[in-house]
Structures are given as C-alpha cells and as structure tokens.
C-alpha cells in the first residue's frame, strides 16, 4: 500500500511538472502573438519588426505610406515564402500595385514604364493563380493591360503577312498561296 502511495505521489509530481512546462510554453507563445498583433494594429512601434510574416506584411503597408517602395517590395518578397495562399496572393497584389503606381508616375515615353507594368501584370497573374476570385487583382490586371497592351503572336503574324504571299513548304512539294 505504501508503494502505491509513493507511486501516486511521484506520478502527480510528474504531471504537475509537465503541466507547468506546457503552461509556460503556451504563455510565451501567447505573449509573442500579442506582441505581433499589437505591432500589426499599430498600437506599438518597436524599432525591430517582428519576423512574423503578417507583421512583415503590415510593415510593408506602412513603408508604402511613407514612400519607401523598395523596402516594401523587399518585405513583400519575404512574405511570399508563406504557405498561406491568401497572404501570398495579397502580397503579390500589393507588389503589383507598387509597380503599377511607379509606372503611372513615369512619363508615357519612358521605356522603364513598360518593364514596371510587365512586373505588375506578372504579380497580378500570380495573385490570381493563388486566388482566382481575387477581383481587385483582376481589375488592376485589366488596368495594366490597358496601359501596355500585349500583342498576341497570331495578330503580329497576320499583320506581317497582310498583303503579301505566304509560302508553305512540305516534303516533296511546294505550294504557293495567294
């Protein structure tokens, strides 16, 4: 009977020790989550941005508001490494917005404008691949396509061949078409 009480006593001590460890780990995790949430909500502005991807996304938004586009692009690029498809789609969308705004600020004859609009189109397409019902990305993709339309390969071939003869070659014979 004494051995049974002794075993119960040590079992209870072990359960209490494990419980204290689990409670301390949960408390620390909760504290970290509260710190990230406070940073995201804007209540606290620490000097160092937390490594949490949603905090990086939030800081990228603040960087855009402060006209720090390059810093925002870097932060949004780090966010793209997430498994959360909604967050990644939003990051692509915001990257596209940054590129599109920079392109709109340029003169229409500036050649760098075309490459920025191309980057914006690619980011909007990536956002749509992750979330096909992302209507804001669809709308902005249409705006980018209106700024710099894409020529289809069939249209360019038809424009070149307009008014000229097309020659089709095959093995064994040649046919000239009007």
- 109-146: pLDDT as tens digits: 888 888 899 999 999 999 999 999 999 999 999 999 99
Higher-pLDDT residue of 3, 99: 99
Per-residue pLDDT, 27: 86
Per-residue pLDDT, 82: 84
Residue 150 has pLDDT above 70, yes or no: yes
Residue 60 has pLDDT above 70, yes or no: yes
Per-residue pLDDT, 141: 93
Task: Give the model's confidence band at 153: pLDDT under 50 very low, under 70 low, under 90 confident, else very high.
Answer: low
Mean pLDDT of 61-76: 89
pLDDT averaged over every residue in the chain: 81
Higher-pLDDT residue of 161, 128: 128
Per-residue pLDDT, 3: 84
For 88-111, what is each residue's pLDDT tens digit?
Answer: 999 999 999 999 999 988 888 888
Per-residue pLDDT, 17: 92
Per-residue pLDDT, 164: 57
Mean pLDDT of 35-64: 75
Per-residue pLDDT, 149: 83
Contact residues for 14 (Cβ-Cβ < 8 A; gap 6+): none
Per-residue pLDDT, 155: 54
Long-range contacts of 96-104 (CB under 8 A, 24+ apart): 96/120, 96/121, 96/122, 96/123, 96/124, 96/127, 96/137, 96/140, 96/141, 96/144, 97/140, 98/64, 98/69, 98/72, 98/73, 99/123, 100/140, 100/143, 100/144, 100/147, 101/69, 102/69, 103/147, 104/147
Higher-pLDDT residue of 142, 177: 142
Joined together, the tokens standing for residue 85 give 């498809």
């Amino acid at each position: 009977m004494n051995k049974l009480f002794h075993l119960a006593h040590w079992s209870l001590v072990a359960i209490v020790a494990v419980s204290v460890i689990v409670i301390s780990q949960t408390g620390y995790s909760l504290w970290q989550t509260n710190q990230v949430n406070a940073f995201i909500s804007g209540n606290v502005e620490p000097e160092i941005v937390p490594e949490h991807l949603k905090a990086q996304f939030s800081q990228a938004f603040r960087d855009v508001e402060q006209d720090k586009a390059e810093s925002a692009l870097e932060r949004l690029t780090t966010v793209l490494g997430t498994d959360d498809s909604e967050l990644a789609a939003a990051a692509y969308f915001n990257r596209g917005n940054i590129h599109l705004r920079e392109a709109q600020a340029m003169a229409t004859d500036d050649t760098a404008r075309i490459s920025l609009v191309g980057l914006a189109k690619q980011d909007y397409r990536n956002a749509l691949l992750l979330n096909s019902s992302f209507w804001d990305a669809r709308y902005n993709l249409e705006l980018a396509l209106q700024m710099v339309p894409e020529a289809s390969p069939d249209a360019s071939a038809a424009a070149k061949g307009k008014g000229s003869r097309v020659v089709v070659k095959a093995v064994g014979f040649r046919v000239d078409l009007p």
